[in-house]
Structure 1
Amino acid sequence: MSMMEQVKEVLGYLDQLSLWQKVSIAILAPFVYSLLWQFYFSLRSDRVPLVFYWIPWVGSAVEYGMQPYEFFEKCRRKHGDVFAFVLLGKVMTVYLGPKGHEFVFNSRLQDVSAEEAYKHLTTPVFGKGVIYDCPNWRLMEQKKFAKAALTRDSFRMYVPKVREEVLDYFANASAFQLTKKKSGEFDVLKSQPEITIFTASRSLLGDEMRKRFDASFAQLYADLDKGFTPLNFVFSHLPLENYRKRDRAQKKISSTYMNLIKSRRSTGDIEPKRDLIDSLMINSTYKDGVKMTDQEIANLLIGVLMGGQHTSATTSSWFLLHLGEKPELQERLYQELQGVLKEKNGTLRDLDYDDLQKMPLFNNVIKETLRMHSPLHSIMRKVLNPLLVPNTKYVIPAGHYLLSSPGYAMTSEKWFPDAGEFDPDRWEHIAAASDNKETIDYGFGAISKGVSSPYLPFGGGRHRCIGEQFAYMQLGTILSTFVYNMKWSLKGKFPHVDYTSMVTLPEGPAELVWEKRESSLL
């Protein structure tokens, strides 16, 4: 009997069944297939251990999405550092710990791809032709173009601008109004995204673009943020309201950038060192001679600000909450800040970028916050060619995904004793640098080649975040402005982490009570 005849026979048999029987088969068939597939997968000695699941296609998505670090730890205890789980139809191979960082971040470009893993997630948010919607070598050059605005000389110019923006926010935001009130309450989930976008736009994009930003523009970036969820990772477009908000926000922000770019082009008002916009308009020609279009420049600007938005809004929210539980640590920060200012015989307005480097406790608070609350809990790559897991017999097939979680390592007792305790002083005794001093240049400047450290808050390898020093400048200036102008305490219980997006924000409301200091500039 031929295959076609066999198919016809099966279809004929199914046609004779009652509706109830057909529905039962339709429901049961995926479960049976899933169980058989898992059984076959488990029999193969060349496959990593697979986390069992009951619901077809969904796999372990719910457990992973709600508490990823707890899920990883449970799987590690059963299967070891290397295991696989199914996430909405995709097989994710996880490798935990520093060896996993090395494997994922430093795998060969021809074997794994961040672009293939993320482009359907990021392209609707950033736009076409930039970040992951282009060949990797072009992304490396885009990072080089953007780094022109991330120099030490630039940071020296940014510090007073960031401070001025925070002070303006303290003076005018309804939750603060320090010129009129001596105390009040605020929610970090509202204040920190707004402060972050205002300070980043003022420093990176310049005064002219900052004037176009207001609370509604900050909301547009919040709507863009909603495009980063596990569901978006699988489905880039669905007829849902958060998708529509994402698309409207992308068009509005992109058109705002485009209008300014066109205006400067038409008038010739372009100054190389004024802001990142002008810098990209002048220096954005790839090594093959192709120039970025103005639309691609606008899209890259969205990507640059979004990257900083995630890190700084998340990190500043968390360090304010932790410090709200530790008034004695706030006082130590205040005394460290006053000590630096006393040497200058000045006030907060005299604090500059070089002074930020003289305040170890401030930097350790940021470092400890990044350890406990890595903005991204998972970093993924798509496997392009069959990949052997080092020192094992396991082979990861093409089409599967690799997953590394520096956030898991940074919150593990194995590498950080009392990992659940917010303790900035631990960094007085820990060398956070990579264990490998060798550097490599992927096209955007030399970075450490080694990624086997348990502490990697900014990732590693060719996709390492280029904004690390900008983040420390921005966060240090924001924190010093808070400390100098007010004291604050936690209202209610310390919030849990919200893992429903791919950014680890606090669950709301996340409120603090503030009291104006006598030293306040307002």
Structure 2
Amino acid sequence: MSMNSTLHTTGYAASLLDSVQDHVAASPGRAVLLTLLYSPIVAIVLNVLRQLLWPRDRSLPPEVFHWIPIVGSSISYGHDPLGFFFKCREKYGDVFTFILFGRKVTVALGPKGNNFVLGGKSTFFSAEDAYTHLTTPVFGKDVVYDVPNDVFMEQKKFVKVGLSIENFRAYVSMIEEEVEQFMKTDPAFLTYQMNDINDWGRFDIADIVAQITILTASRTLQGKEIRDNMDKSFSDLYAALDGGFTPINFLFPNLPLASYRRRDEAHKKMSDFYVNIIRKRKESGDDMQDMISALQNQRYRDGRQLEDHEIAHLMIALLMAGQHTSSATGSWAILHLAENVQAQESLYKEQVEHFGNPDGTFREMTYEEMRRLPILDSVIRETLRMHPPIHSILRYVRTDVTVSPTLSAPAEDKTYVVPKGHYVLACPAVSQVDPKIWSNPHIWDPTRWSDPEGVAAEAFKTYMDENGEKVDFGFGAVSKGTDSPYQPFGAGRHRCIGEQFAYLQLAAILATILRKVEVRLEPGCAFPEHNYHTMITMPKKPRNICYRRRAFD
């Protein structure tokens, strides 16, 4: 803002205050009315003057200019977070603070920024304090962010037991069966069911993949009882619970709205549903190859077994978290394959080469075979690069923390202080499409992962760090991966332990669908934009896919 603009704003504020004083003298009633009318304007003017004229504390990161107090930059951030961050980086550098509905959020961009936030100690940065008001009403008490970090790390270790390679080997055929059965029975695939290889059908890709994802997850991780009860009543419970997992619930956790009441009622019914399953299994002595059985056999370090409600709430957390991320990534992948016919046919030919029978049918994949398919692997990695399910990761600052303004300078150089009570934010999505790192970052190009010496391969090696030092945060030794510009499943102590299952699920779903149908974007429709108004980044509508049955299926 120029000096002339500043003087003009100052003069306007003085004129406005003189006017209000005149009306106070003339009529107290009118003065009250005018105060109500002009108070927001006065607040905005004072907020602008504070930012322009008040000396800034140089020890703090620069604050993004904003017009409206409390609201701050919430609208710009919420509408297009990546665009907002790139613009702020041009003006303020890698480290800056913005106002998010009264919260002061310090952003640290780039791989070094990711490492600063996601690699920070839990004594400095707290995920629990940042998210419990959102997750606890949905997941339930005594799990995830409703417990101290060390307890959550133990719970992650318990879940990891159920994510064994032995189970994964059994899950591949289960997922294939579920996808095939869905395509044979769901009305969206009517053209496929009619064995018509000439006419094209159509469906909303996000709706279809969401249904397939929850069916495959329930068949594998959740257990037979959950899969058998996947009827409309369960779907209604899930929808009501999902309605409480939105940005508005994060920003305003205790509003007296009907959706909040439906969320709480749905959580209780779903929790009771799982607890009843657990108790019946105990009575019958059934031991199945699923997550419930794995959790029933685990004990905390103090010797205590998980209580029934803890198992139930962990199962709800797995259902909710996995459903959103996998359905979003699957939707984006199929949209890109529908747009890029060459990549789609390459993926199909890879399936024919490895699993095709002489009669045009396909044999089942094995887990080990699926992990060795370079084109399928590249499609998933590239989709996760451009469309990570979660763009921003927050932590609550428990004690004053110093950070370099460039994040690459030594600690002895100039530093900022992020005060206790603020939040810090990492945005791996920025580094995953940063033109300073990637060539043509906004072009979906799976072949970039084929170059063993390329940026993508190096980023993946850093993320996985197979030969590097492992860190045990309490749930087994893992690669931190916090220095990588590619972090699709997070990094550090809160790295997603379900990433291997998510990969398996995505690969099996994509392979099965693309074996049976060709897909295209709906004629006349552009590729969907990101919808950042949801907790998980989904494609905006319209997002229709046209499909045609393959000749040999």
The yes-or-no answer on 1:485 pairing with 2:508 is no
The yes-or-no answer on 1:221 pairing with 2:238 is yes
User: For 1:466, what is the secondary structure of its paired residue?
Assistant: coil
**TM alignment of 1:468-483, pairs within 5 A:** 468-483=499-514
**TM alignment of 1:339-488, pairs within 5 A:** 339-342=353-356, 347-390=361-404, 391=411, 392-429=414-451, 430-431=456-457, 432-434=460-462, 437-488=468-519
Shift of 1:248: 3.4
Question: Does the CA contact (< 8 Å) of 1:41 and 1:50 recur in 2?
Answer: no
Question: Does the CA contact (< 8 Å) of 2:326 and 2:502 recur in 1?
Answer: yes
Supply the distance in 2 between the matched residues of 1:190 and 1:44 (Cα, whole angstroms).
49
Supply the distance in 2 between the matched residues of 1:117 and 1:41 (Cα, whole angstroms).
30
The yes-or-no answer on 1:330 pairing with 2:344 is yes
1:202 maps to what in 2?
A: 219
Supply the distance in 2 between the matched residues of 1:494 and 1:258 (Cα, whole angstroms).
43
The one-letter code matched in structure 1 to 2:510 is L
Shift of 1:234: 2.1
1:6 maps to what in 2?
A: none
User: For 1:380, what is the secondary structure of its paired residue?
Assistant: strand
Supply the distance in 2 between the matched residues of 1:243 and 1:344 (Cα, whole angstroms).
55
Supply the distance in 2 between the matched residues of 1:88 and 1:230 (Cα, whole angstroms).
12
1:8 maps to what in 2?
A: none
The yes-or-no answer on 1:292 pairing with 2:306 is yes
The one-letter code matched in structure 1 to 2:194 is K
2:15 maps to what in 1?
A: none
Shift of 1:27: 3.1
Q: Which moved further from structure 2: 213-222 or 363-372?
A: 213-222
Cα deviation, 1:477-520, whole Å, max 9, x if unaligned, reads: 00110111111111122111110012100112311111111332
The yes-or-no answer on 1:185 pairing with 2:202 is yes
Question: Does the CA contact (< 8 Å) of 1:383 and 1:401 recur in 2?
Answer: yes
TM-score between the two structures when normalised by the length of structure 2: 0.87
The yes-or-no answer on 1:506 pairing with 2:534 is no
The one-letter code matched in structure 2 to 1:359 is L
Question: Does the CA contact (< 8 Å) of 1:161 and 1:203 recur in 2?
Answer: yes
The one-letter code matched in structure 2 to 1:234 is L
Q: Identify which of 280, 289, 294 aligns with 1:263.
A: 280
Question: Does the CA contact (< 8 Å) of 2:162 and 2:295 recur in 1?
Answer: no
The one-letter code matched in structure 2 to 1:357 is R
Shift of 1:161: 0.6
The yes-or-no answer on 1:518 pairing with 2:551 is yes
Supply the distance in 1 between the matched residues of 2:521 and 2:110 (Cα, whole angstroms).
33
Shift of 1:24: 4.7
Supply the distance in 2 between the matched residues of 1:287 and 1:154 (Cα, whole angstroms).
25
The one-letter code matched in structure 1 to 2:286 is I
Cα deviation, 1:118-147, whole Å, max 9, x if unaligned, reads: 000111111111110100011101111111
The yes-or-no answer on 1:303 pairing with 2:286 is no
The one-letter code matched in structure 2 to 1:277 is I
Shift of 1:50: 0.6
Change (3 A) 1:226 1:33: farther
Shift of 1:275: 1.2
The one-letter code matched in structure 2 to 1:200 is A
User: For 2:547, what is the secondary structure of its paired residue?
Assistant: strand
1:118 maps to what in 2?
A: 131
TM-score between the two structures when normalised by the length of structure 1: 0.92
Supply the distance in 2 between the matched residues of 1:366 and 1:222 (Cα, whole angstroms).
27
Aligned-residue identity in percent: 44
Supply the distance in 1 between the matched residues of 2:237 and 2:53 (Cα, whole angstroms).
47
Supply the distance in 2 between the matched residues of 1:41 and 1:299 (Cα, whole angstroms).
49
Shift of 1:36: 5.6
1:279 maps to what in 2?
A: 294
Supply the distance in 1 between the matched residues of 2:361 and 2:144 (Cα, whole angstroms).
41
Supply the distance in 2 between the matched residues of 1:380 and 1:269 (Cα, whole angstroms).
42
Cα deviation, 1:132-190, whole Å, max 9, x if unaligned, reads: 01000111011111111111111100001111111111011110143335341111121
State the number of aligned residues: 505
Change (3 A) 1:308 1:28: same
Question: Does the CA contact (< 8 Å) of 1:486 and 1:516 recur in 2?
Answer: yes
Supply the distance in 1 between the matched residues of 2:361 and 2:140 (Cα, whole angstroms).
43
Shift of 1:32: 5.1
The one-letter code matched in structure 1 to 2:462 is S
Change (3 A) 1:66 1:482: same
Q: Which moved further from structure 2: 154-163 or 237-246?
A: 237-246
Let me know the Cα RMSD of the aligned residues. 2.2
Supply the distance in 1 between the matched residues of 2:143 and 2:336 (Cα, whole angstroms).
36
1:9 maps to what in 2?
A: none
Question: Does the CA contact (< 8 Å) of 1:438 and 1:450 recur in 2?
Answer: no
Question: Does the CA contact (< 8 Å) of 1:120 and 1:236 recur in 2?
Answer: yes
Supply the distance in 2 between the matched residues of 1:311 and 1:427 (Cα, whole angstroms).
22
Supply the distance in 1 between the matched residues of 2:233 and 2:109 (Cα, whole angstroms).
40
Question: Does the CA contact (< 8 Å) of 1:348 and 1:481 recur in 2?
Answer: no
Supply the distance in 2 between the matched residues of 1:422 and 1:66 (Cα, whole angstroms).
22
Supply the distance in 2 between the matched residues of 1:222 and 1:453 (Cα, whole angstroms).
35
Supply the distance in 2 between the matched residues of 1:428 and 1:221 (Cα, whole angstroms).
39
Question: Does the CA contact (< 8 Å) of 1:65 and 1:230 recur in 2?
Answer: no
Shift of 1:21: 4.3
